[in-house]
Chain A
Amino acid sequence: MACVLGGADGDLNYEETELCLGLPGGGKSEVETTTPKAPGKRGFAETVDLKLNLQGKDAVMDLNDNIKNASKDKNHLPAATVKDPAKPPAKAQVVGWPPVRCYRKNIMAQKNTSEVGEKASGNSAAFVKVCMDGAPYLRKVDLKMYKSYQELSDALAKMFSSFTMGNYGAQGMIDFMNGSKLMDLLNSSEYVPTYEDKDGDWMLVGDVPWEMFVESCKRLRIMKGSEAIGLAPRAMEKCKSRT
């Protein structure tokens, strides 16, 4: 895609303000124009690395945090390591473009999965019950409506936002890159999402690639971090194996 170069503004840092199609994660110092970035750069949930990020004190989910993830972790994995062997990595998409409402996008996505799913199992949706400790009622989500942990995380946050207590709520997923942070989280009263898989084991969400998660997840439970501590070892192992 061609880059849009603005007018001849000599006083602006050009690389900084170029509006280009580029993958997030290019550091400021990396001036190579192969992957420049724009002030408003965003990573599309689908193609950005499946890094699941802790929200901190803010009870707000923000898609722009993909940028935050990318820039914070640029020393770790490169951005857009897509765990989807079935398709070649799509061009990095921009949030909210083309301007088709999520409502419609979801329906078209459902349609696609239902067409595929019918050939496979005849069951097009993957509804699982979601409960959150302390919330008066259950919810249900169709995991096939989402394409990534980030999307699921956003949806859960919205669903349970009215039940947030104190500064924390149904936050984003855990940052597996950062072991100590993980332990802090688990020791705190933050909520972490967990799920029961096909074998009846309870695991921390985010362990496995998204598609595998969708296939194996039977129900979701958002529990307090301190209660989830027993589930952490697997996550810690994974963390160790990456560093």
Chain B
Amino acid sequence: MVISKKPRSQNHYPNPNFMREDRTEMSEDDDRSSPSDSVNTIDSCSNKTTSGSTSGSGPSSIPEYQAPYPDQVLENVLENVLCFLTSRRDRNAASLVCRSWYRVEALTRSDLFIGNCYAVSPRRATSRFTRIRSVTLKGKPRFADFNLMPPNWGAHFAPWVSAMAKAYPWLEKVHLKRMTVTDEDLAVLAESFFGFKELVLVCCDGFGTNGLAVVASRCRQLRVLDLIESEVSDDEVDWISFFPESATCLESLIFDCVDCPINFDALERLVARSLSLKKLRLNRYVSIGQLHRLMVRAPQLTHLGTGSFRPSEDVAQGEQEPDYTSAFAASKSLVCLSGFRDIIPDYLTAIYPVCASLTSLNLSYANINAEQLKPIIGNCHKLQIFWVLDSICDEGLQAVAATCKELRELRVFPIDAREDSEGPVSEVGLQAISEGCRKLQSILYFCQRMTNAAVIAMSKNCPDLVVFRLCIMGRHRPDHVTGEPMDEGFGAIVMNCKKLTRLAVSGLLTDRAFNYFGRYGKTVRTLSVAFAGDSDMALKYVLEGCPRLQKLEIRDSPFGDAALLSGRHHYYNMRFLWMSSCKLTSGGCQQIAQELPHLVVEVFNHEFDEDMGNFVNTLYMYRSLEGPRDDAPKFVSIL
């Protein structure tokens, strides 16, 4: 979004005549024609003085006048131009042009994105960028979600919030992913940023309802409070009651992951006085009856996450229940539905009236079968995002394929996430989806049985694929029809999907698959590997062949030091490399640490694990401007 920046020297508003004089002056001084052209074309609303020095603003004919150094003029011009740049990649490129551009870009950047909170320190970031209004920080690597990272590893929000409290008192938005945030941090946030508007915490932990209460009560301008898949401890605080008593600015309130009872009456009153509320996602402590009351209060909602999709226990059987279908019918703006926790499938039909307008439907916590899905999905012609459990079986996926021609993103989660589970979906479902949903861009598919043929079919039918993540849950499983490794299938994906940037592989894979990745995976940025490959060659193929690779996470694969070292040319271009339970030794890790001083090489070892011998359990390494961090816990060695 474009934010037009006020120029830095606001107190030097010249009168328009002065401005014109100055332009002629400048065009005489300046060799280059372009700056004067640009000045002429600049909208005068920016009212920028072009007389260079920030202190003086007198007319240019005064003898003491200091001629602006050429860059200064350019900088002023640039400031007015660069403020329109929003893409951070464009901004990064612009900042490399020359010092002038670097300075100006830093002044005009308002959104700060830091993909690895340890790559740069808070002090450095706040020194360079002085006018930030929105911060996005990412902490732990993704494998931390799967218990592969010991707790208390790091990614603390505390040093960031205290630096930002001083540097950006006007901060409006904080978006954190996989960071540890404490109640104290939230208190600092709430106290320090008077106009704070948006807090989004994804996969975070370390805080509780105490922290939420502080944010609710102190951030009077709060528009967005989104808590997504975060661990929130129950401090037995009625945090909903801490929102201001008067009308609120709330536009989005997402708290389905806050797993503690809430004061429903307070919530109902909050919704009633939040007239801008568009997105509401409830937790499982809200029953369907209570949901009805909320929907009646807020028919303007566009995104709704239901709580428990069943009546509360104290509703007697046979008691008159509200007309849920009417409530949905009245919610004419609903485009996104989720929740459906603890579902009694009979109630699902209540959502019929909105199906035709839904673009996003998340049934991934609803244990329903194909028969229960079909009537719903049959109406979802506009659906673009669909998350579901494999309980719908291949038959359910066929129904999806038959109707959802606009589908862009599909995620099929396992209801029973164990290696030896039944696995109700298979290559049949994948094939059907590939044939029916040609516009598919992103897929995450958990299954127990798969064939190369189906994967190849998807690679050909869905050329727009950007994200392909296939998880065959039983490790090392080959194509269950031919008995061959899954090399050809995944190979076809990298070969045929020219826009592919993210790939996660599984099943029985030999070095051949990795050869394909290296040969064809030219646009791949993120690669996840588990229980795959035969030798170091596999990793070498990838490190040598994938120039865009930024995030590489590997577990339980037989790659050793030679492979690690073969990537030395590339590691500074990457955000991180994770390798756990591979064949790395401390020698190899030490060597890469020595060769590449701007990498932080973290190794997790365990004192008592004498059986490990010389092998390193986990390597997590990332580029950083700061060197080893000082908050590493004992079990982390930084080489």
Contacts and interface: CB of A to CB of B under 8 A. Distances in A.
Interface of A: 1-2, 4, 6-7, 9, 12, 16-17, 19, 21, 28, 37-41, 58-65, 67-68, 71-72, 90-91, 93-105, 107-108, 111, 114, 122, 137-140, 142, 154, 157-159, 161-162
Contacts of A65: 606, 608
A72 B609 CA distance: 9
Contacts of B235: 137-139
Interface string B551-566: 0000111100000000
B617 interface: yes
List the 5 shortest-distance A-B pairs measured between CB atoms, nearest first: A40-B581, A96-B146, A7-B535, A6-B558, A100-B417
B634 interface: yes
B179 to A, nearest CB: 14
Given A98-B417, A104-B365, A122-B313, 16 more contacts: A39-B612, A58-B634, A58-B635, A64-B617, A65-B606, A71-B609, A91-B419, A93-B419, A94-B556, A97-B473, A103-B229, A107-B341, A107-B365, A108-B417, A114-B342, A157-B151
B150 interface: yes
A119 to B, nearest CB: 13
A98 B419 contact: yes
A115 to B, nearest CB: 9
A162 B150 contact: no
B260 interface: yes
Contacts of A105: 417
Interface in B597-639: 606, 608-613, 615, 617, 633-635
Given A40-B556, A60-B633, A99-B471, A67 B148 contact: no
Report the interface size class on chain B.
35 or more
Interface string B531-567: 1001110000000000000000001111000000000
Contacts of A137: 210, 235-236
Contacts of A9: 535
A159 B232 CA distance: 10
16 contacts: A1-B475, A4-B476, A12-B583, A28-B611, A38-B556, A41-B611, A72-B608, A94-B419, A99-B145, A101-B203, A105-B417, A107-B341, A108-B365, A108-B417, A122-B313, A162-B182
Given A7-B534, A39-B612, A67-B609, A90 B150 contact: no
A39 B581 contact: yes
B473 A98 contact: yes
Contact of A59 (B143, B146, B152): B152
Contacts of B210: 137
A91 B364 CA distance: 26
A85 B609 CA distance: 31
Contacts of B417: 98, 100, 104-105, 108
A71 B611 contact: yes
B534 A60 contact: no
A102 B145 contact: yes
B368 interface: no
A161 B635 CA distance: 16
B316 to A, nearest CB: 13
A215 B66 CA distance: 83
B234 A139 contact: yes
Contacts of A38: 556, 581
Given A1-B474, A39-B615, A139-B233, A17 B365 contact: no
Interface of B: 143, 145-148, 150-152, 182, 203, 205-206, 208, 210, 229, 231, 233-236, 257, 259-260, 313, 341-342, 364-365, 367, 413-420, 446, 471, 473-476, 528, 530-531, 534-536, 555-558, 580-583, 606, 608-613, 615, 617, 633-635
Given A72-B608, A140-B234, A104 B151 contact: no
A107 B474 CA distance: 22
Given A40-B617, A107-B365, A111-B342, A60 B151 contact: yes
Given A7-B534, A39-B581, A64 B152 contact: no
A226 B446 CA distance: 49
A59 B610 CA distance: 21
Contacts of A72: 608
A12 B583 CA distance: 10
A62 B150 contact: yes
Contacts of B233: 139, 159
A64 B260 contact: no
A120 B152 CA distance: 38
Nearest to B536: A7
Contact of A95 (B148, B182, B365): B148
Contacts of B555: 40, 96
A17 B583 contact: yes
Contacts of A99: 145-146, 471, 528, 530
A41 B229 CA distance: 28
A98 B617 contact: no
B563 to A, nearest CB: 11
Contacts of B203: 101, 103
Given A99-B530, A103-B257, A68 B558 contact: no
Contacts of A2: 476
Nearest to A129: B236
B598 to A, nearest CB: 28
A68 B147 contact: no
Given A98-B414, A98-B419, A62 B635 contact: yes
A62 B152 CA distance: 10
Contacts of B475: 1, 21, 94, 97
Contacts of B610: 71
B229 A4 contact: no
A101 B471 CA distance: 13
